[in-house]
Amino acid sequence: MIKAGIIGGAGYTAGELIRILVNHPEVEIVFVHSTSNAGNFLYDVHSGLLGDTQLRFSDSYDLSAVDVLFLCSAHGKSREFWAENACPAGLKVVDLAQDYRDESEGYVYGLPEWQRDRIRSAAKIANPGCFATAIQLAVLPLAAAGLLKSTVHVTAVTGSTGAGVKPSATTHFSWRNNNLSTYKVFEHQHLKEICRNLGQLQPGFDVPVQFVPMRGDFARGIFASVTVDCPLPEEEALSLYKDYYADAAFTFVSDRPVDLKQVVNTNKCIVALEKHADTLVVSSAIDNLLKGASGQAVQNMNLLFGIPETSGLKLKASAF
């Protein structure tokens, strides 16, 4: 059994991670660390875990007792954690924050559809951002073919869980319900990792990615719409995408329009294409807490330990 530890266990991503790992056939959770919740049952915070586990939050941890460590704390906290702790030899790390997405300090960017082989041989994984996952999966085949020659226009809407468990003015139910808004237009933090990675996949990539993020009035999921100039006929573009994702465990190309209910509660990304004159419109849908965070983290763990990529992740969509 793979022995797992979790740092920062009280947030949404940690809750989803625990939900997956308690049912994972190859994993035993050794500790879930949370100073503010130490001594409480996990289900006292993550109520959906009632009946699944009797584990309690801990205010201490022994890194030498685990094979893999998941870092689920806020952005910036991972670097602080390693400034205060030594990493034992042989410990695998999956960091869900943005601290090492530039692949500094030996981390590998954990987007399996792009870097599966590197992930398998890595020791430390920087899990991608949720928007970054949805957007990159919408354009990776084009970048790999050298076809991103003009501005990439992106509009993407996310559920309220993307803002984290701590309430704020724009995540409060009475504000979010029956409402829609943009934020961080052209300045979202995930643009940095998106542009960096597209530049590696398509040498010489230097076109703008103009990203308009939107807050949706639903809890979970990301729906991204990407518009880009493309010389390929629709049939050839569709073939390009299906070939690129032929071996992907969780990314699928649909011949019909995609919707969020196909992916929410799963680790899937579903991509659909439409061609209008010289413009290709690519729709991409994921669950922001699963393929956009904790599900992808477990997918990366599976690759790190050489077990089937889909282990623990055969989840049914909440279709109704």
Give the residue numbers annotated as catalytic, written as ranges.
130
With 0-12 / 13-18 / 19 or more C-beta atoms within 10 angstroms meaning exposed / middle / buried, residue 7 is buried
Compute the Cα dihedral for 161, 166, 167, 169 and give only its sign.
negative
Alpha-carbon dihedral angle through residues 106, 112, 118, 120, given to the nearest 10 degrees: 100
The phi and psi torsions of 259 (rounded to 5 degrees) equal -140, 165
Neighbours of 84 (CB within 10 A): 7
Task: Please tell me the distance from the alpha carbon of residue 88 to that of residue 45, in angstroms, as a whole number.
Answer: 30
Inter-CA distances, 191 with 100, 103, 149, 159, 162, Å: 15, 15, 17, 19, 16
Task: Please tell me the distance from the alpha carbon of residue 162 to that of residue 146, in angstroms, as a whole number.
Answer: 31
Q: How far is CA 39 from the centre of its chain?
A: 29
Task: Please tell me the distance from the alpha carbon of residue 284 to that of residue 270, in angstroms, as a whole number.
Answer: 6
Query: Which of 106, 98, 100, 5 minimizes the C-alpha distance to 57?
Result: 5
Give me 262's structure tokens: 């196909």
Task: Please tell me the distance from the alpha carbon of residue 147 to that of residue 232, in angstroms, as a whole number.
Answer: 9
Neighbours of 78 (CB within 10 A): 23
Q: How far is CA 74 from the centre of its chain?
A: 15
Interior angle at CA 260, CA 102 and CA 138, nearest 5: 40
